[in-house]
Chain A
Amino acid sequence: MQLICPAGTPAALRDAVDLGADAVYCGFRDETNARNFPGLNFSREELEREIAYAHSRQVHVLVAINTFMRAGSEALWERAVDDAVRLGADALILADLGLIAYTAERHPQARRHLSVQAGAANADHIGFLVEAFGIKRAVLPRVLSLTEVAALTREVPCETEVFVFGGLCVMEEGRCSLSSYATGLSPNMHGVCSPASHVRYRKDGEAMVSMLGDFTINRFGAGEAAGYPTICKGRFTAEGRDGYVFEDPVSLDALAHLDTLHKAGVSALKIEGRQRGRAYVAQVVKEIRRRLQSGSGAADGAEALRRMSEGQRTTEGSYDRRWR
């Protein structure tokens, strides 16, 4: 199985390459990708230079152009595809059907991966896209159980890639409007869930309160581990009780299932976190590479990974779904 690592900056890309990634995924500095944060991502010149660096070490670079094109501004997304192909990207990670069609038509030789943002969670959906647009690999949404991942991987006529570590988006990918509701900006259209422009933290005695736009998302007591200010992981009062309704502040850790995923025929394992720092990339890549090489789910590095996680807690998410 290939290890696919995130890179938000050239420095993180080099760390990932040097520490054992088989491929690195990254995006341009604009809303054409789902991690459009200030100071993050690659200019055209940087991408060209870093692709050369990765290729000199036999590592692939996948370029995520995985938000949905805005009506009237399609040229921005099409230019991103043209440039990524021209600069030598090994694959494009795409979600928008129109953009996938554009890529298939203009750059038939370019390898096309289906982004998790496309929310393709069944064999018919993926099969159609493979037939119509020559999709070579589908990144599966983080809403499937291990059994479903295995069944899908058997059925679809392309490779599959799954997330094994990092931030957890609990809704059907590409179809969440929570951030849009609170801020007018969404991960699918603008590349940002809970954009930094709308996030505020304030102290309340020893507690820390996180706000998104006009909404209070959470209140962390003294010393309580914190999480991102996303609505899906906010603390709500419902039926007279305080608590988490959709999901706790927590990150995905499916490393205990590497063997099962391998047996299921999954082609690639993905680490979430292009918005994270170099230290995260280095720690996580090193640990997963070690486990893949030793062939065990050895938990030596588990504590370090837990400390890297949102709320300093991890979950197996839907892979271990017990509520259905």
Chain B
Amino acid sequence: MLPPILRLLATPLPLPLVQGMAQASLTHILREHPGLFDRLGTFAARPIAISPTDAPFDFTLVLARRSVRVTRRGATPPAYATRICGPIVLLLALAEGRLDGDAEFFGRHISIEGDMETALALRNAAESIPLDFVRDLAPPWRWAQRPGQAVLGAVRRSLLEREGVPCN
């Protein structure tokens, strides 16, 4: 689970700010990894809801449109084809290929609702690209990249260690 302090800090964040950050991150990741679409095929057009169970926001992605819509937990989220729920650190570790999706599902750490084909296509597409949130989400300015990556890397390491996920 996300440390309570981070949850507390995230809760009052204004929705437009989270929306802007999420959209910028998605745009950047998709630009860095165009190979994702190759495996997603037509499933890229289906809305996918990512619902971190320990964070106050839901994220609904339509990858073909390169768009994400953030809603507060409890508000009605946009319609989705597939919804993937689980602790945020596990979801991010899955996306980076550090954990096996089936094993997390067997252990009941994540759950999936709706269209399973889309969920599988997303999993396999994410597995086939070298996603690395520290590298991909570091600040774009050259001078800030090294310190940015160092801070993000330390945060990731500590969050993964809390969940017992190997970090190498």
A residues touching B (Cβ–Cβ < 8 Å)?
A: 8-12, 37-40, 43, 196-197, 199-203, 208, 220, 223-227, 249, 275-280, 283, 307-312
Docked complex Cα distance between A283 and B100 (Å): 10
Question: Which of B99, B105, B113, B124 contacts A38 (CB under 8 A)?
Answer: B124
- Residues of chain A within 8 A (CB-CB) of B106 are 225-227, 249, 307, 309-312
- Residues of chain A within 8 A (CB-CB) of B43 are 38-39
User: B123 an interface residue at 8 Å Cβ cutoff?
Assistant: yes
* Cβ-closest chain B residue relative to A41: B124
Docked complex Cα distance between A9 and B108 (Å): 25
Q: Determine chain B's interface SS by DSSP, over half rule.
A: helix
Question: Which of A10, A201, A277, A280 contacts B112 (CB under 8 A)?
Answer: A201
Docked complex Cα distance between A289 and B148 (Å): 38
Known A-B contacts A37-B120, A199-B116, A223-B108; the reply to A10 vs B128 at CB < 8 A is yes
Known A-B contacts A38-B117, A38-B121, A308-B103; the reply to A11 vs B108 at CB < 8 A is no
- Residues of chain A within 8 A (CB-CB) of B40 are 39
B residues touching A (Cβ–Cβ < 8 Å)?
A: 38-41, 43, 94, 97-103, 105-108, 111-114, 116-125, 127-130
Is the beta-carbon distance between A197 and B116 smaller than 8 angstroms?
yes
Known A-B contacts A37-B124, A38-B124, A226-B108; the reply to A308 vs B100 at CB < 8 A is yes
* Cβ-closest chain B residue relative to A281: B100
Is the beta-carbon distance between B99 and A279 smaller than 8 angstroms?
yes
Known A-B contacts A39-B41, A225-B108; the reply to A9 vs B100 at CB < 8 A is no
Write 18 A-B pairs (CB below 8 A) sorted by A numbering. A11-B127, A38-B118, A38-B121, A39-B43, A200-B116, A203-B111, A208-B108, A208-B111, A224-B108, A225-B107, A225-B108, A227-B106, A277-B102, A278-B97, A307-B103, A308-B100, A309-B103, A310-B102
Is the beta-carbon distance between A278 and B127 smaller than 8 angstroms?
yes
